[in-house]
Amino acid sequence: MSDQTLSVCRRFRRTTTKVISTMQCTRLGLKVCTSKKTRQSMGMTGKVDGCALFWRRTKFHLIESYSIEFNELAQRQVTTVMGLNPRSEEGASILNKLSKDNVAQLVVLELAQQSMASRTNRDPINQVCIANTHLYSNKDCPDVKLWQTLHLLQELETFVMARGTNLPLMICGDFNSTPESAVYDLLSRQAVHPGHPDVNTGEENGPNVLPDVMSITHSHMLGSVYSSVLGEEPKFTNYTQQFKGVLDYMWYSTQNLRSLSAAPIPDESVLTRHGDALPSTQYSSDHIMQISDMQIVGGGAR
């Protein structure tokens, strides 16, 4: 089999367009899966965002798609794992802390190849699982973001293992966490140091929602695209008046994916050409688009 590459954009953005319609997707040759944030925490008023995954119809076939609601995982943790009544004081306190309406989505895409026209006996090496998420944004709640990341990884573990260990995996998103965070440690090192401040937040931060730190782990062997290609994370992926730093990442399973390239992040002089911060007339988002070419490897498919 010849080399197989896929191009991944963490954030789909056009210079002058913030909304893409179904008609535009068709015209551009794209298919899309969307997952809207739940409204349990915020109520029915105001705007609501979510996650979206786009792919070219000529390059991939959609095999599976799922949404993950962190509110639902929190309910399961309180009732099933902890054995608490969600209406009790302790149960309600934990649910209130964890129910932030964030979601994740995942799709399994299959490479559209002539040799796979029969679409039977699919080989997982010709498929890729891509997950996308937007974690809780409050900087004062690193434990909530760590809890969300841990449970996302656990859900993906169950999902991938059920389909064979050879299924390549990418996890993309706005993790609202810097490279110094416990979230980054968990994704990159499969564990968190017991002394990390994000797992020792204190009683003033509300009830403890994390398991014992030695249980905060996962089995995915993940690499960060930008760190792998450039040798370090970029200086920033989010550029606002209040914050300039890295919050967004593309992670990939190192045993069956290889990162071939990473698009450079524009210099500050470029980003501030049309204003002091983002968004601006040139950049429609306060986050900077990340792009990488990925190669599926292993299993004889190179």
- Helix/strand/coil for 255: coil
Integer CA distances (angstroms), 286 to 13, 49, 63, 135, in order: 11, 15, 32, 16
Q: What tokens does 222 get?
A: 């993940």
Tens-place pLDDT, residues 189-223: 999 999 999 998 877 889 999 999 999 999 999 99
Output the pLDDT for position 205: 86
- Lowest pLDDT segment from 1-10, 74-83, 151-160: 1-10
Of 119 and 81, the structure prediction assigns the larger pLDDT to 81
Q: Which residues of 57-80 are buried (b: 16+ CB within 10 A; e: fewer)?
A: eeebbeeeeebbbbbebbbebbee
Output the pLDDT for position 166: 84
Helix ranges (DSSP H) in the chain: 22-27, 70-76, 89-98, 142-161, 182-189, 225-230, 268-271
Give the predicted TM-score (pTM) of the model.
Answer: 0.90
